[in-house]
Amino acid sequence: MLDNKIHYRTCNLCEAMCGLEITYKEKKVISIVGDKKDPLSKGFICPKSLALKDLYEDPDRLKTPIKRTENGWQEISWTEAFDEVEIQIKKIQEKYGNNAVATYQGNPNVHNVGSMLYGGPFLKSLKTKQKYSATSADQLPHHIASLKMFGHQMLIPIPDIERTDYLLILGANPGASNGSLLTAPGFPQKIKSIQKRGGKVINIDPRFTETSKISSQHLYINPGKDALFLLSLLHVIFDQGIEEKTHLSNYLKGLEEIKEIVKEYSPKKTALLIGIDSLEIQKIAKDFMNSKTAVCYGRMGVSTQEYGGICQWLINVLNIITNNMDKVGGAMFTKPAIDLVYMTGIQGKVGNFDRYRSRVHNLPEYSGELPVATLADEILTEGEGQIKMFICTAGNPVLSAPNGKKMEKALEKLDFMVSIDIYLNETSKYANIILPTTNGLETLHYDLVFHQLAIRNTAKLSEVLFEKDENQKHDWEILNELTERITEKKNSLTPEMMLDNMFQYSPYKEANLSVNKLKENPNGIDLGSLQPLLIKRIFTVDKKINVSPQIFIDDLKRLDKELYKDTKEEETKYPFALIGRRHLRNNNSWMHNSKLLMKGKNRCTVLMSSKDANNLSITDHQKIKIISNVGSIELPVEISDEMKEGVLSIPHGFGHNRNGTKIKLAEENAGESINDLTDDNKIDKLTGNANFSGTRVKVIT
Ligand SMILES: Nc1nc2c(c(=O)[nH]1)N[C@H]1C(S)=C(S)[C@@H](COP(=O)(O)OP(=O)(O)OC[C@H]3O[C@@H](n4cnc5c(=O)[nH]c(N)nc54)[C@H](O)[C@@H]3O)O[C@H]1N2
Ligand SMILES: Nc1nc2c(c(=O)[nH]1)N[C@H]1C(S)=C(S)[C@@H](COP(=O)(O)OP(=O)(O)OC[C@H]3O[C@@H](n4cnc5c(=O)[nH]c(N)nc54)[C@H](O)[C@@H]3O)O[C@H]1N2
Ligand code: SF4
Ligand SMILES: [Mo]
């Protein structure tokens, strides 16, 4: 009889980086609990981590490359698969040019060290401008704000939620999402701790969410109006007068400009549009500025708005002018063990914006990629530069990109498609070849991205728990093989060797970090709390923090023109504004095949306020049709006074009712996809980010 063994690792399913203690025997997980010795998470976990066992054991997971033939899917050898992909890339690029091959990198790439290290060289080898990722359906505005203000796309301020006295949360629901661009395992407990310390947490959301429930105060806002709300907060704060000199004062430029601009946005003028009383706006502004420390945090719900860029810019401005930027208890910057921001910053690799534009819709490039909202049209629109081949890595754009039905039409039209994925799902079913990868417990993990975004500096390496089967490949092995075949150059570095190279540049010299040292410390190593450090890292050309970048100032003209326009006609035709929602036991589109997570009642419902339901004589659980200008879906209603009147909510990531997939449990809990309603032509015109929040819809009973 073999004994039970213990394995420590970081959960890589969401951004929280919780430490896990896994008891196992041979190749069987016996239990997963929180690792109390993990210096970041200190024992916290959520129910999703337990699904790592389901993922490992899932009979639907692909383990061998498969090829779509006239007689259905056929298993093929890795050599045959790589040969065919190589031939197709070369053939199509030769015939139509490099840009005829497009790529899309989905969310799990950033949670996978192999994909992070080998994805870049692979994309580079293709020499194509048609690169896409989930970034432009998510956090793109954060990057543009950081690039334009601080001079580096990844210099993203992290709210110091463990030390702040006042946390203002807009468009984020850490109570369900566990936090994003803010790695803070146990976020909900931290919200409660702020209040226990005598501080306040204010939550602004069109829905009374899991986060609202534990906040000191929740205020309903009309979807899409946060830019106006932020402008009005700044109006009140400048009006009160702030002269205090800060450690950043000598490094700021553009203060006078923003001060002048916000004069136009008094709460009296904006309150009605925002849906928050002007006295409340004034109170929040004054409390924010008078708190010893305060920080404003805005995520998905504000990034994916029509003015997502303006929102993320103004959030930074608010934190700066109230003397809360780069300050304990305010918005801070990290110094991780592998300090990618610093390493790239000193080399001048800070990111780019708008060097060129997309072919069909003239949308701006961001650091070599184009907005995913235009991907389908780039495939469908004929002419020079049309996409003919598509390589999708750990992505499910049929369910995650706006206007999923159009995406399906586009994928059908391709000459060739490859998916690097663990499932035959709504997107990969359009591939000619699927290259399956290892996942979770079968992988080595070091978080290159989320240590960069965490509330505390720590370092942790997770070793492989269960060795992969002989025929399986890691993401990095697939990406590396493809890169070698295209470039005809051999790369024999493993992820461990690359990590060791990077540790040599670690700012923690005295800690002597290396792969081996981290293997000896499987719970992780604490490197201390965040410290002010921005001045040494301002990467703008003039070494100033730009409080009023011209692109945002210019974009305010669009806001002025559009936000005050008469929308009665549209609102009569489509009386409801639609928003999304996350659930603790969902993970975007791909974890609905886990038995453990699918327990409980149907989650893919439309939330509607009782007043709206009464007006339309809709009863609880009644199935209704929801219609937008791009499509319609049918779902049961859940009457819920969490919702603001006139606003509906549907979770994203469902819609597993498409034929030809192999995800049995997900198919049985199919739901419908909200992105069959969202419009690919609705974007933040400044950044190109998808605009999901506030999609106009009507309902038919
Ligand atoms: N309406 C609406 N749309 C949204 C959102 C929203 O809130 N509302 N959210 C947006 C956001 S924030 C994001 S990040 C995107 C996500 O968009 P995507 O990244 O396109 O979608 P995911 O659902 O994360 O799909 C991940 C894919 O990776 C596969 N996979 C999982 N693990 C691995 C692995 O280890 N290796 C490989 N190779 N494949 C793997 C899964 O099977 C799945 O096919 O969706 C966006 N879309
Ligand atoms: N359980 C779970 N956790 C996840 C994920 C998941 O799918 N499930 N996905 C992961 C990913 S990829 C990401 S990016 C993060 C996202 O993490 P969060 O940003 O916390 O995402 P959401 O939970 O979608 O929260 C967005 C909030 O914005 C609100 N909102 C919508 N429109 C507006 C608006 O116009 N104004 C304001 N003020 N609020 C608005 C919504 O009601 C919602 O409460 O979560 C990550 N964690
Ligand atoms: S919060 Fe995120 S990282 Fe932590 S256990 Fe849950 S899924 Fe894993
Ligand atoms: Mo995301």
Query: Which pLDDT band holds residue 566 (cuts at 50, 70, 90)?
Result: confident
CA nearest to 87, candidates 486, 391, 429: 486
Q: Tell me the C-alpha distance between 615 and 595, whole Å.
A: 38
Average pLDDT, the chain: 97
Distances from the Cα of 540 to the Cα of 345, 507, 699, angstroms: 10, 21, 49
pLDDT tens readout for residues 568-616: 888 899 999 999 999 999 999 999 999 999 999 999 999 999 999 999 9
pLDDT band at 242 (very low <50, low <70, confident <90, very high): confident
| CA–CA distance, 515 with 503 (Å, rounded to integer) | 8
pLDDT tens per residue, range 218-230: 999 999 999 999 9
Residue 302 beta carbon below 6 angstroms from any ligand 2 atom: yes
**Ligand 3, CB cutoff 6 Å, lining residues:** 11, 13-14, 16-18, 45-46, 48-49, 178, 185
By mean pLDDT, which of 191-195, 296-300, 529-533, 566-570 is the weakest?
A: 566-570
Q: Average of pLDDT values for 28-55?
A: 97
Query: Is residue 244 over pLDDT 90?
Result: no
CA end-to-end span of the chain? 61
Q: What mean pLDDT do residues 70-99 have? A: 98
Q: Is the pLDDT of residue 2 over 90?
A: no
Q: Which ligand minimizes its atom distance to the CA of 421?
A: 1
622-637: b or e for each residue (b if 16 or more CB lie within 10 Å)?
Answer: eebebbbebbebebeb
Q: Which residues contact 454 (CB under 8 A, 6 or more apart)?
A: 17, 40, 158, 183, 184, 334, 336
Contact yes or no for 679/402 (Cβ under 8 A): yes
Residue 1: pLDDT above 70? no
> Ligand 1: residues whose CB is within 6 Å?
106-108, 112, 134, 137-138, 300, 393-397, 400, 420-423, 425, 437, 439, 475, 580, 588-590, 652-653, 674-675, 678, 692
The answer for 521, left when phi > 0, alpha when psi is -120 to 50, beta otherwise, is beta
Q: Give the C-alpha separation, 376 to 358, whole Å.
A: 12
- Mean pLDDT across the stretch 48-53? 97
The greatest distance separating any two alpha carbons of the chain, rounded to the nearest whole angstrom, comes to 76
Tokens 């590396």 — which residue? 480
DSSP code string of 171-226: S--HHHH--SSSB-TTHHHHHHHHHHTT-EEEEE-SB--HHHHHSSEEE---TT-H
Asked if residue 246 has pLDDT above 90, the reply is: no
In the numeric block, the tokens 């994309």 are attached to 123
Closest ligand by atom to 14 CA: 3
Helices (H) and strands (E) in the chain, counts: 25, 30
- Ligand number nearest CA of 107 is 1
What is this structure's pTM? 0.98
Residue to probe by mutation, ligand 2, list 18, 109, 143, 173, most atoms within 8 Å of CB? 173
pLDDT for 535 beyond 90: yes
Our mutation pick for probing the ligand 1 site, out of 398, 425, 429, 590, counting the most ligand atoms within 8 A of Cβ, is 590
| Alpha helix segments (H runs only) across 528-599 | 550-563, 568-573, 595-598
Per residue in 259-297, pLDDT (tens digit) is: 999 999 999 999 999 999 999 999 999 999 999 999 999
Percent of the chain whose predicted confidence (pLDDT) is above 70: 100
pLDDT at 142 > cutoff 90:
yes
pLDDT value at position 563?
A: 79
Distance 638 CA to ligand 1 centre (A): 26
Per-residue pLDDT, averaged over 630-645, amounts to 97
677 confidence band (pLDDT: 50, 70, 90): very high
Task: Read off the pLDDT of residues 465-496 as tens digits, 9 standing for 90 and up.
Answer: 999 999 999 999 999 999 999 999 999 999 99
> How far lies 242's CA from each of 229, 248, 258, 465, in Å?
19, 14, 13, 55
Pocket test for ligand 2, best of 182, 207, 399, 582 (most atoms within 8 A of CB): 582
